[in-house]
Structures are given as C-alpha cells and as structure tokens.
Amino acid sequence: MVDTAPRTKESRVQNVDAVVDRELAKDSVGAGGTAASVDVESLGRQLLGTWADVRLQSRELIKDPALHNLPGLSLAEQRERTLSQLHLLVEKGAVHRAFPKSLGGNEDNGGNITGFEELVAADPSLQIKSGVQWGLFASAVLQLGTEYHHHKFLPDIMSLKVPGAFAMTETGHGSDVASVATTATYDPDADEFVINTPFRGAWKEYLGNAGIHGTAATVFAQLITNGVNHGVHCFYVPIRDEKLNFLPGIGGEDDGQKGGLNGIDNGRLHFTDVRIPRTNLLNKYGDVDEDGVYTSPIDSPGRRFFTMLGTLVQGRVSLDGAASAVSAMALKIAITYGNQRRQFTAGSDTDEQVILDYQRHQRRLLPRLATAYAMNFAHDEFLVKFDAVFSGKADTDNDRQDLETLAASLKPLSTWAALDILQEAREACGGAGFIAENRLVGLRADLDIYVTFEGDNNVLLQLVAKRLLTDYSAKFKSADSGALARYVVTSTAARAYHGFGLRRLGQTVADFGSTARSVQSLRDTNTQRELLTDRVETMIAEIAGRLRPASKLSKADAAALFNSQQNNLIEAARAHGELLQWEAFTRALDKVSDDGTRQVLTWLRDAFGLGLIEKHLAWYLINGRLSPQRAQAVSAYVDRLITRLRPHAQDLVDAFGYGPEHLRATIATGVEAERQDEAREYYRAQRASGTAPVMEKSQKKKR
C-alpha cells in the first residue's frame, strides 16, 4: 500500500484548497437532491440507542433537583447528600433492572447500564456511588455467588439496608489483581476462612463506601486451603456494626478530600485474623468443602481468574457510557455558548461576530464533536455485546473474551476523550467556563479519576495489544520464520490477518497523480477504512516480529524485550480502538433514513476518520502510506469539512437530547444571546439617534 505513483507537473502545482472546495461541493446535497440538513428529532432517537426508553426514563428521573449536586457543601454534607440520593433511587425503583426476577429485578443487563450511566448528568458522585453499591458490591455477589448467596445477601444490598464496598485494589499491587497479598486461609476445625492483610501494602485502598457508610465488603483474597494457594477468590465480609463501628479485627482509614467525586466516602480497609463462615466464599467458580478440599468447574487457575474478573466488566461499560454522556453535555454547553457569544467586528463595521464563526473555534470544537458521535455509536454496540453475554444469548468463552477486549479498547479512549473535550470546552467558553455554575470545571474534576479506576487506561490498552498479538500469532503458529518474514516484508499485499474488530481488505491506496482524484479517494469509505486498518495491522505485525525471539530468551531478557515494545503496543491498541469507533460510526450511517441528515453525518464521520489520519500523519508518511501531497490534502479536506459542518453544529448537539435540567449551565440557557442582543440594540439606537460618540481613529483618517 506504499504510495509510489509518479507525480505529474499538474499535481505539483494544483491548488489543493481549490480542488478540495470543488470536490466537497459535490456533496452539498444528499441522495435525491435533498439539501444537507439535520432532522434533530430522528437523529436524537438514533442517538438514544438500543435502550432508548430506559435512557429517556433515566433522564426524566434526574430532572429531580434532589438528585443534583450542590456546589459549596462541606465534605460531610456532600457524602450524606449522596447517600440520601441512593435511597431516593431505591424508592424510585431505578436500581434493580439487572437483578433476578425472583428478587424483584428485571434481568435486563443492557437497560441497567443504560439507566445507570445517565446519572452522571445529575451528579458524577451519585453515578459512581450507586455503581459501587449495585454495579460492583452487589454484582460481585450476583455474578460470583450462587443461589444461596443471592437470597441471603442481595435483598439487603438491593434495598440499601447494607451499603457495601468492593475490596479488590491494594496499595501495593494496584492493577495487578492476581498478585494481591490479602489471604483467606481455611480453618477446617472451625469451618471458617481467616482473612489477613499481612503488611501495609496489602491494605485495600480507594474503596467507595469504605470511608464511613459501608457495613460489608466483597473482599478479593488469595484462597489457601491445605497449604495450597488456589488464587484470587471473592468473599463476603461484614465490616461494621449497626452503629458504623468497625468489627473486631477490621480497621481502616478515610481517604478524605479528593480531587473530585467528594460525595463518595472512599477509604482503606485492613484485616487481622477476621473469621467468616466457609459459606461466605462466593463459590460459583471455586469451592471448598468442610474438609478443605478445593474444587472448581474451571481447571486452569489462569482461566479461572480471568473468568471471575470478566464477570465484573460492567464497570468499564458504564464508564464508557458516562464519558460519552459528559462529552455530549460539554459540547452542548460550549457550542451553544459559541453560537451566542460575540467578539470582534471582523466582518462588519458595527456588529461583532459570534465566536463559533471563527475557524480556530470551529477547529477546537467540531472535530471533538465528531469524536463524541463516534463514542456514542460505539458505546451502543458495546452495550448490545455486553447484554448478549450477560443475558446468556451469546456467552461462549470467545464472546466473553471479545467483550473484555472491547471494554479494554473503548473505556480508555472515551475517558481520555472526555477529559480532553471538557478542557477544550472550558477554554472555549473563556472565563465563563471557569465559573462553577456552568459545570465544566466540576465535571472535569469528577471525571479525572475515570481514566484510572476500573482499570488504568494504559494497563487496559496493554491487555488489548496482547490480545491482538495472540490473534496474530494464531494465524502463524505453524509458519516458519521465513514465512513470517515474508509476510512482514510484503505487508502491503492482501491481508492474511483478521483479528478481533479488524477487517480484511484487498484494495491498495495509491496517489493517482491528481489532487482531485486524491481528494475523491479520501472521501471514499473504503479508503478511510484501509488507512485506519492498515495502521493497526502493520504495527502489530512489526511488534510481533520484534518479539519473536522472546521464546528463546531467559525470563529476564524476555521481559526486557517485551518492555522495550510496551509503548508501541499501547499505541497499536489505541489505533485498534480508534478503528472500532470509526467502524461503529460508519455502521450508524446505514441506519439514517433522512437523506439530509445522512449527508451531514457523513461529513462528521469523515471529519472523525480523516482527523485520526491527520493526527497520525507522521506514521503514514514515514511508512509510505501517504505521499506528502496526499497528506496535504487530508488537512485541507478536514478544514473544509469543518466549514461545511459549522451551520449544523447546533442541531448536532441539540440531537444529544440534554435539556436545561440536565446541563444546568447558565451560559447554555440563552442568557448570553439576550445579553448580546441588549448590547447590539443599545449601540444601534445610539447610531440611529446620532448620539453615538465619534471614534478618535475616524477623525484621524479625515485629517
């Protein structure tokens, strides 16, 4: 796919901008001659996704001011308000969708996450604290326990009679859950497990509800029986009495004030000879009988561990959705404000210009709007996959592995993007964006931790890269080194690799010697797919080639070799996630029935795809995938796409469906337009009455 076609004199001197304008003009109307426009109502319905009714119900629920965050409260007041909000959710029946019907639930996993992630618009602390209670603590009992545990523990957890903590992370091991140091040793004489944190680094850390409210915890510890460590398992452990005092052998500390999410009482827990009944082992995937004999339906300890962790993937699903929701909210605020705020008389002697008309302002916000749409469409597909696995409709080992890879791909991209969008939206609103009542700084502070919990983003992407390498290696497990080398050398030929989320492609990209034809090619869906896919495939193939000697090295040398490729692995995984988002956006276009809306969304999809290519132009140039001329056309085309999208920006953010009760940002209510209209009318009246003072510089011009 190397760009080697000869360059003609015409292609060297042609005005790229003019050609891009001419080519883009061909798309000024949709199919059937319909002018490009946005049907906000129909697009809004599509953006609501598969569980549209649940999403609307949740958005209606969170209009209640009792669920909103109140800036300025003390730490203690914030925590008590958030706990009271959880009780309100219980009263409204808003938290039981995922639980068994026998316990009053709906067994609706996709709908549960859909409704839950919308809580972020009310208050991120509410979303996360409810996620701790019902998405982690309760889910550990539901997914890792059996019928006995469901009926014994879940009713009080569902009703919030027992607030709980999810005690997995340790100070010393963080993301390395398999190496946690807390132990649960079986005592056959007492028919009990004994829980211990043997040193300070084994304390459980950053636990929601552990600071003050939690009265029980699901504790992840190394299960030891008859002198054998069977790996990490989960145990139900009471931690406080009814007066919220720690039970014997249990201690802890409050994490106190944090950078955000201060409605949640995060804290630390430690255990010294804490005894629990043997039956408090959540034993779906591993059990111990009265004599201390361990059994499991999964023979492999490694596979058993990853199966247990995989059942808790919904946290990453919900964070991906919440990040998408907050990104939409931030862009609605910033673009609404940009459409009303006026500054500088750039194109008029009298009227100032709205700031969204300036190219730089458009370049700051509209590509991020394209990213927000890609995130939204990818998230709905993610939810469908999650629901299929957790409902049992598609619950094979491969399905679960694909879900885990999808979660590890999308959660990092969406949470990083949310922080970037919030920061740019804040800056785009100037000083007004820094005022707490306009919410951008508060949301930015609360979402900061999203990139770290439920899996550190860099660690998750490394897991994705390992999966891609595994899929790649499977294609060549019987190939000799010569065959592999030939594949790497001829990687521009027809694709032999087809890993998770990738596509087989045969068409090559070439510079046709004409700017017009180059631009036409960039507008082509298959060309964009080819460029994005080729980057992932090539990076994985190159990394696999570099890591091939690892099997013949010592453990230390193999680790050093792998470490030397860690950054490349993470970049390849990011490229893979970007491709998944682009593919989801492209599939969403096929579902748009209105021609004018499809045209605008096609421009937006192109802005996303070509924006990714523009961001990685150095790679495409270095690897010969694009000529310098084609690269120049990419940026020129993105600029023109943004110009085309500018008139539709407000419609595109309105389609997200967030109203004033959700945004609660003064600058997005229309008050800025009122202020600007007042100012314009004041100066118009001055000019009309002849009372306007003469500007000094006009006097100097006359002289």
CATH number for the domain including 441? Answer: 1.20.140.10
> pLDDT (tens digit, 9 = 90+) per residue, 574-618?
999 999 999 999 999 999 999 999 999 999 999 999 999 999 999
pLDDT for 21 beyond 70: no
- Rounded distance between C-alpha atoms, residue 535 and residue 356, angstroms: 34
Residues, the chain, total? 703
Q: How far is CA 283 from the centre of its chain?
A: 31
Q: Are residues 285 and 351 in the same domain?
A: no
- Rounded distance between C-alpha atoms, residue 472 and residue 483, angstroms: 14
Q: What is the mean pLDDT of the chain?
A: 89
Residue range of the domain that includes 685: 670-702
Strands 216-225 and 183-187: parallel
Range picked from 26-40, 448-462, 670-684, 688-702 for highest mean pLDDT: 448-462
Which amino acid is residue 641, in one-letter code? L
Q: Could you tell me the two tokens for 381?
A: 């597909």
Mean pLDDT for the stretch of residues 667-677:
90
What does the pLDDT read at residue 507? 30
Q: Could you tell me the two tokens for 477?
A: 């497990």
Q: pTM score, two decimals?
A: 0.90
Cα dihedral 213, 219, 220, 225 in deg (nearest 10): 170
Count CB neighbours of 505 within 10 A.
Answer: 18
CATH at 104: 2.40.110.10
Q: Could you tell me the two tokens for 615?
A: 């961001």
Residue 322 lies inside a defined structural domain of this protein:
yes
Q: Are residues 162 and 83 in the same domain?
A: yes
Number of domains comprising the chain: 3
Supply angle C-alpha 50, 52, 53, rounded to 5: 130
Residue 46 lies inside a defined structural domain of this protein:
no
User: Does residue 240 sit in helix, strand or coil?
Assistant: strand
Which amino acid is residue 540, in one-letter code? I
Q: Which of 359, 587, 626 is nearest to 509 (CA)?
A: 626
pLDDT for 513 beyond 80: no
Work out the pLDDT band at 5, boundaries 50, 70, 90: very low
Domain boundary among 275, 296, 312: 312
Work out the pLDDT band at 520, boundaries 50, 70, 90: confident
Q: Are residues 18 and 87 in the same domain?
A: no
Which residues are bridge partners to 229 per DSSP?
224
- Rounded distance between C-alpha atoms, residue 369 and residue 387, angstroms: 27
φ/ψ region of 169 (left if φ > 0, alpha if ψ in -120 to 50, else beta) reads: beta
Q: Are residues 165 and 302 in the same domain?
A: yes
Mean pLDDT for the stretch of residues 284-290:
97
Residue 1 lies inside a defined structural domain of this protein:
no
Work out the pLDDT band at 537, boundaries 50, 70, 90: very high
Q: Are residues 404 and 494 in the same domain?
A: yes
- Rounded distance between C-alpha atoms, residue 633 and residue 337, angstroms: 31
Are 285 and 304 in contact by the 8 Å Cβ rule? The answer is yes
Q: Could you tell me the two tokens for 449?
A: 């931790």
Residue labelled with tokens 């049992």:
392
Q: Which of 359, 305, 315 is nearest to 113 (CA)?
A: 315
Q: Which residues contact 142 (CB under 8 A, 6 or more apart)?
A: 98, 99, 100, 150, 154
Which residues are bridge partners to 227 per DSSP?
none
Residue 506 lies inside a defined structural domain of this protein:
yes
pLDDT for 518 beyond 80: no
User: Does residue 341 sit in helix, strand or coil?
Assistant: coil
- Rounded distance between C-alpha atoms, residue 277 and residue 236, angstroms: 9
Work out the pLDDT band at 488, boundaries 50, 70, 90: very low
Residue 372 lies inside a defined structural domain of this protein:
yes
What does the pLDDT read at residue 1? 42
Residue 452 lies inside a defined structural domain of this protein:
yes
Q: Are residues 365 and 417 in the same domain?
A: yes
- Rounded distance between C-alpha atoms, residue 110 and residue 317, angstroms: 10
What does the pLDDT read at residue 692? 84
- Rounded distance between C-alpha atoms, residue 221 and residue 224, angstroms: 9
Q: Pinpoint the alpha helices (H) of 429-524.
A: 440-447, 457-475, 481-489, 515-522
Residue 401 lies inside a defined structural domain of this protein:
yes
> pLDDT (tens digit, 9 = 90+) per residue, 225-273?
999 999 999 999 999 999 999 999 999 999 999 999 999 999 999 999 9
Domain boundary among 293, 312, 331: 312
Residue labelled with tokens 């938290």:
95
pLDDT for 18 beyond 50: yes
Q: Are residues 299 and 326 in the same domain?
A: no
Domain boundary among 262, 277, 312: 312
Q: Are residues 122 and 146 in the same domain?
A: yes
Residue 120 lies inside a defined structural domain of this protein:
yes
Q: Are residues 276 and 371 in the same domain?
A: no
Q: Are residues 31 and 69 in the same domain?
A: no
Work out the pLDDT band at 20, boundaries 50, 70, 90: low
Q: Are residues 649 and 688 in the same domain?
A: no
Q: Are residues 329 and 303 in the same domain?
A: no
- Rounded distance between C-alpha atoms, residue 436 and residue 289, angstroms: 56
